[in-house]
Structure formats: structure tokens, C-alpha cells
Chain A
Amino acid sequence: MTFNGWLQIAVYFAVLTALVIPLGRFMARVFQGERTFLTPVLGPVELLLYRIAGVDETREQHWTTYTVAMLLFNAAGFFLLYALLRLQALLPLNPAEMSAVAPDLAFNTAVSFTSNTNWQNYGGESTLSYLSQMAGLTTQNFVSAATGMALAIALIRGFARQSAATVGNFWVDLVRSTLYVLLPVSIVGALFLVWQGVPQNLGAYVDATTLEGAKQTLSQGPAASQIAIKQLGTNGGGFWNANSSVPYENPTPLSNFVEVLFILVISAALTHTFGRMVKDERQGWALYAAMSVVFLAGVAITYGFEAAGNPHFAALGLDPANMEGKEVRFGIANSSLWAVATTAASNGSVNSMHDSYTPIGGMIPIILMQLGEIIFGGVGSGLYGMFLFVVIAMFVAGLMVGRTPEYLGKKIEAKEVKMAILAVVILPLMILGLMAVATVAPFGLSSIQDPGPHGFSEIMYLYSSSTGNNGSAFAGFTGNTLWYNTTGGLAMLVGRYFVIVPAMAIAGSLVAKKAVPPSAGTFPTHGSLFVSLLVGVILIIGGLTFFPALSLGPIVEHLAMNAGTLY
């Protein structure tokens, strides 16, 4: 660890925090239908979209209608993307002459992008046409992110409104997220990335003759436009196979700084949007503080273990700092920061190979995914996921003092707690349940690259990443098999929609309630006591659930590594 490494992490966190208020305030205005500086340009486009789609923007929806609209939109997106992938060989914009994507891989990829996961069982430059990357993947990068934001806003309305019947209009929230937030920031980001060196063209792959006379094929494409939104929308699916470690995708330390900032910025700012919409900004900051505590602890641990490195390297007479799978221009600090940010958020893009991390350095990303992607989390999904833990934390606090818990004046009753538990229990069910099958079945074990405890970690990483809708991988593992394409796709579907529906049910239940005025017995939810309680509940639930499995993978591997064992 170096002073300069910590300085980079500190500056990153400072810039992220500084953006929370302006972006959070802007999003609150957008979702409350107020005028913003973009309205003169985008207002007419917004209205045009409502007219052709037959949407009455003044009519709000009950939570069930809102959820059905969201599900229909996502289902349509899935089928369109699946069709594009299967038919890409017959469609235009395919200069590298890619053939049709196989059915199981197309299913996995289509689920992956509609559910905002972006698991890559495909290698972009070796599998997909430019049309698939643009019309297929880039579109879903936008709308799956917008879906997440819409849902979070609906749940916020559940807290903010009193005795109401509706939680907003899904179509309006979807259109506003995309037009006012995701698109403008992506345009600026894409041009910045091109300036730094990310390609943006529709040309054929370039054949070069290297200085020593060898042949090298340089894959090209409309990359910058896709990379900007893949980071901003916490999607994470790379234009190239090795994602943001590829110099074309992330050429400089500056591009790296902006990309890793994009990963967390919307999720971080949504806490402030929440604070504004419930008219108590301290509530937003409390959630921001809880997320930050876990995030910074994760960065410190991963950075510490990667810098301390691998004793096997030292035995070869080398500096032990773990540079396997990392790029020189980023070094240990930027790689560690990215690994934690991308798994805290459900982004899943990587600028270094997590599979090659030290056991504990690589365990932090696994834990962050297993907590349910709520430490900032996916855009929108991080916030509604965090609310589930807030409900549980308030329930626990209520049990301790023996009174019905309230959050923002809304009574947390049996229905809310049941729904929150239902959503939270889905994670271990999918992760541990599917792992249990994969670790004993030959079709599960055959994908492992590294024998020993690391192989176990590889399987755990896959299901944690799919269920948490993250999308990063211990990439030595062969995920592109019939078993993993199918079960991984299933885990992504369940991990997304079986959390969304209970969360929306909570929104529907809360929005109908009256707010109780605070009394002397009300537990304040904006102080350090609440933040500690929330962090404690998150870590205890995650810890109790996954510690046994983690101890069989990363923890035992850490001990083995220090004892000088190789597998």
C-alpha cells in the first residue's frame, strides 16, 4: 500500500460524495415532473413518446399495474434481444461476419441484459455483430437501468405519500430516467472516452503488421457509446471480452477514473433523491453513510491484501504485490478500488481479473454480491434492495423495545416484514442451492479451471454474481455450457424479479398508510445509531448465511496460500 494509492481512493470518494447533491437534486426534479434545464430540448421528445405509445402521463398506476407494465416491458425486451442475437448473421452491420448466437447462449445473454446483469458468457469481439452490440445490448443497457430507477422511485413514493392509491406511472418514470438522466450523461461520457482513446467507428477489424513483422488483428466498433452507458447504468457488459482491462475500452488512468465514478454515481445520488422526495435530506444521508461504511471497509481490505500480495511470488524472488491479471497503467490501488466498486454496485465490469486476486482480496467482491448488491448497488435496484434491509432493521429494533416499528412515520407491520424477508431469502436459496448441485455434479465440476478451494470459489462467484445481477466473473471458469447458461440465466431472473415484486408490494402497502407523527418513542432514522444498526443487520444476515460457504472457499485458500500449498 502506498500513500499515492490511498490518495487516489480518497479523491475518488470525495468526488463521488460531491456529486451526490447536484445529481440527486436533479433526479428528484425529473421524477417529480418539475422543469429542468433540459426540458426545453427534451420536453417535446418526451411528449411525442407518450403520444405515440398511447400513454396518459397524468394518470398514475396502482402498484400492481405498475409492476405488470414493468414486467411486460422487460419481457418484450428479452424477446427482441433474443431474436436479434439469433438472427445477427442475416442482419446488417456485421463486418466481421459473426454467425448466429447459439440458443442457450442467446437465452443467457438476453436474460442477462434485460435483468441489468450483463454476465458475459460471450466474448464481444469474437461473437457479436455491431448491430447486436448497438440495437441489442446498448438499448438494454439504457432501459434495464431505467427500469431499476423507476422501481426505486415508486418505492420512494410509497414512503413519501400518505393514504394514496398509486405509486406513479411506470412509462413516465421509464421515459424520464432514460431521456433526462441516462442519455445526456452518456453522451458527455462517450465523447470523453473517445478523447481518451476509446474507438467509436463502424469499420472492419484492422489487420496490422507489427514492428517485428507478425500479424495482429485489431477489433474495432462503436465502443465508446456502449461503454459510457454500461458504466453509468451499472450494466457492466464489456464491448470486448476482457472488459475494461482492455486498453481500447479503458485506455488511461483518466478514463479509468471517470468510468469507475460512473459505476457508483447514480446509485449514490439516488439516496439524496430519496431524501428530497421524503422531505428530510438527513434520511438520504443516513443510507449514504451506511453504504459508504461497508464500501470503504471493502476497499481497504481488498487493497491491503492485493498490495501485500502472494507469498508464492516472494518465493520466486519477486516483489509479491499481486500484478497477475492487472494492468500496469492502473496498478494495485485502482484495480482494487474498481473491483470493490463494481461488485458493491451491481455493475460487474472489471479492469483486472478477479479470478487472479488473492483469496481475501477476491472474497470481498463475493461478499458484496452476496449481500444483495445494496452497497450503492445497481441503479435503483441498490436503493430498493437497501429499503428491504431497512424494513428488517426497523423490525429488529422494534422487537428490542417491544413496539411497532415506524420508518418515516409509516408503520412497518407484518406484511412489509414478510415481503422483505421473502426477497432477502431468495438470495441464499439461489446461490447456495444451485452451488450445492453444481459442486457435486460432473456437469458442474467440469467448468472449473483451478482445482482445490479456488475452484469452489469460482462456482460460488458465478451464482453470487448471477443472482445479485452483477455480471462479473471469476473468468477462468467456463460459464458457456448448457448447465451454466441455463441455471445462471434462471438465477438472474429470480434474483431480479423475485426481489422486485415483493419490493413493489411493500411500496403498494406503504403508500396507502397514513404517516404517524413522531413521538418521544420514535426511533430516529437519521443518526449514527440507525446507521450502525442497519450496517449490523446487513452484515449479520449476510455473514450468518454465507460464512460457512466462504470458509470452504476463499478462507481455506488463504490459509493454504500462506502455508505454501499449490493446487
Chain B
Amino acid sequence: MTNEIRPAVVLLVAFTLITGLAYPLAMTGIAQLVFPHQASGSLVEKDGKVIGSVLMGQTFTGDKYFHGRPSATVGPDPRDPTKTAEAPYNAANSSGSNLGPTSKALNERMKADVAKRKAENPPASVPTDLVTASGSGLDPDISPEAAAFQVPRVAKARGVPEERLRQLVAEHTEGRALGFLGEPRVNVLRLNMALDALAK
């Protein structure tokens, strides 16, 4: 048995060096060289300042923007740092609601969200993704139906014809990869940036 101690220790150290340091560092070097934009987090800048990542959802509350999905992420409570408080789209603490299918808390949250969405937007049936929290709390996308649902509100707030916005949504709708993988989707940040560009 003592014969096996040396290989155990030496190989553990060797693999820590190879797979724990050399491998991730080499990958970092190659990635930064070949795909610098993605490797650094697909950041988006506006006027030289980072406004977010195109991959990570962010909060939109104003009428002039398309809204993303509910987010269940939390952050430290500003009044009491030992507790947590709601902090939607906290990209430093990803999380879903994890509420179960028979949860009263889930049902009440969804009921309130449905009422809110209906009040903000002309009465139409609310797309499910707009009242369900994503798994990460950072979903950057909404379904094309969820974008269409918000078009009248945004058009009114911005004084832009609905037809123009529907066109903009269509331009920003990403189809399935290779024609069959995933689901059609609209990146909310990209769409809203295009909205701002439209205004200029």
C-alpha cells in the first residue's frame, strides 16, 4: 500500500498543474486571441461605456422599452446585509424561482404579473413566457409572441407607427439554429437598442 502513496501524490499534483492550471490558462490565451469578444463576455458598449452583455438579460421597466421575462434573482438587502432582497436580473447571482407546480406563492406571483401585463398592454391574452421566471433569472430573450404583445404599448409611448415596430421585431427575431434547434426568440437588449437608434 505504501508503494501507492507516491503515485497518488505525484499524479494529483501533476494533474492539478496540467488540467487545473495549464489547460484553463491555455484555453484563456487561445480564446482571447481567436474569439476576444465572446471570451470577454460579449459586452455591449454605448458611448464608450459598458451597458451590459448581449447574452445576459437586464431589467426594463419603462413604457418606451420592450420588457423581458420576470426574474427571480436576489441580492443583498440594502437595509440589512445579512438578508437578501429581490434584485431582478442580478448577473452576479443567477437563480430561478424554484417554486413548485402547486405552489401558492407561484400562483399569486403569476396572477399579479398577468394583471400587471394586462394593465400595461391592451387586453390580449398574455404569452406564458412573460409571466414565468426563467431558470437563470437572466434570460435575454422573449418569444416573438411576447414581443408582438408589447408592440402597441411601445408604439404609443414612442409615437412610432405600430407597423414600423412590428417590422423591427421581425428583423430582430432569431429563428431556430440550423432550422430546427431551439426556439424562435427576440433578444430584448438588442431590440431596445434598435428602438433607441430608430428615435435618432
Contacts and interface: CB of A to CB of B under 8 A. Distances in A.
A53 B11 contact: yes
B157 interface: no
A241 B6 CA distance: 36
A76 B8 contact: yes
Interface in B127-170: 127-129, 131-143
Nearest to A561: B102
Given A210-B58, A216-B58, A252-B182, A324 B99 contact: yes
B34 interface: yes
A355 to B, nearest CB: 4
Interface string A325-363: 111111100110000000000000011110111110000
Contact of B4 (A65, A352, A457): A65
A264 interface: no
Contacts of A135: 16, 20-21
A210 B50 CA distance: 8
Given A139-B16, A187-B27, A313-B110, A201 B40 contact: yes
A323 B56 CA distance: 18
B39 A450 contact: no
B55 A248 contact: yes
A228 to B, nearest CB: 8
A254 B125 CA distance: 31
A247 B27 contact: no
B7 A69 contact: yes
A489 B89 CA distance: 32
Interface stretch (A24-32, A218-226, A480-488, A539-547): A218-226
A458 B100 CA distance: 10
A162 interface: no
Nearest to A75: B8
A211 B101 contact: no
Contacts of B21: 134-135
Contacts of A175: 11
A396 interface: no
Nearest to B113: A316
B58 A242 contact: no
Contacts of A256: 181-182
Given A4-B176, A211-B58, A69 B8 contact: yes
A353 B15 contact: no
Contact of A241 (B62, B93, B107): B93
A323 B69 CA distance: 11
A443 interface: no
B19 A328 contact: no
A174 B11 contact: yes
A322 interface: yes
A257 B182 CA distance: 9
A174 B106 CA distance: 47
Contacts of B110: 313, 316, 318
B42 A197 contact: yes
B12 interface: yes
A254 B175 CA distance: 12
Centre residue among A196, A324, A326 by max chain B CB count within 10 A: A324
Contact of A208 (B12, B34, B52, B176): B52
Contacts of A194: 27, 31, 34-35, 38-39
Interface residues of A, number: 128
Contact of B41 (A49, A248, A312, A318): A248
Nearest to A4: B180
A436 interface: no
Contact of A240 (B24, B94, B100): B94
Interface in A187-225: 187, 190-191, 194-203, 205-212, 214, 216-220, 222, 224-225
B28 A202 contact: yes
B99 A218 contact: no
A302 interface: no
B96 A331 contact: no
Contacts of B141: 327-329
Interface in B76-129: 89-107, 110-111, 114, 125-129
B199 interface: no
B101 A322 contact: yes
Contacts of B92: 125-126, 205, 217-219
B182 A245 contact: no
Centre residue among A200, A210, A220, A330 by max chain B CB count within 10 A: A200
A474 interface: yes
A565 to B, nearest CB: 6
B51 A211 contact: yes
Contact of B114 (A206, A317, A458): A317
Contacts of B34: 191, 194
Contact of B181 (A8, A197, A217): A8
Contacts of A125: 92-94
A310 interface: yes
A183 interface: yes
Contacts of A201: 28, 31-32, 39-41
B182 A183 contact: no
Nearest to B21: A135
Centre residue among B35, B91, B100 by max chain A CB count within 10 A: B100
Contacts of B55: 197, 247-248, 251
Given A68-B1, A211-B189, A567-B104, A143 B41 contact: no
Contact of B100 (A52, A224, A327, A355): A355
Contacts of B196: 211
6 closest A-B pairs by beta carbon, nearest first, are A253-B182, A476-B98, A245-B135, A139-B20, A331-B183, A242-B94
10 contacts: A52-B14, A72-B4, A135-B16, A201-B41, A208-B53, A318-B126, A334-B182, A335-B135, A356-B101, A566-B107
Interface of B: 1, 4-12, 14-16, 18-21, 23-25, 27-28, 30-32, 34-35, 38-43, 46, 49-53, 55-62, 65, 69, 89-107, 110-111, 114, 125-129, 131-143, 176-178, 180-183, 185, 189, 192-193, 196
Interface of A: 4, 7-8, 11, 49, 52-55, 65, 68-69, 72-73, 75-77, 80, 123, 125-126, 134-136, 138-139, 141-143, 171, 174-175, 178, 182-183, 186-187, 190-191, 194-203, 205-212, 214, 216-220, 222, 224-226, 229, 240-242, 245-248, 251-254, 256-257, 310, 312-313, 316-331, 334-335, 350-353, 355-359, 449-450, 452-454, 457-458, 474-477, 557, 560-561, 565-567
Given A54-B10, A210-B51, A211-B192, 20 more contacts: A54-B7, A80-B16, A143-B19, A171-B7, A187-B23, A191-B27, A194-B39, A200-B31, A211-B196, A218-B52, A247-B56, A248-B41, A324-B96, A329-B141, A452-B102, A458-B100, A475-B95, A476-B97, A565-B102, A567-B102
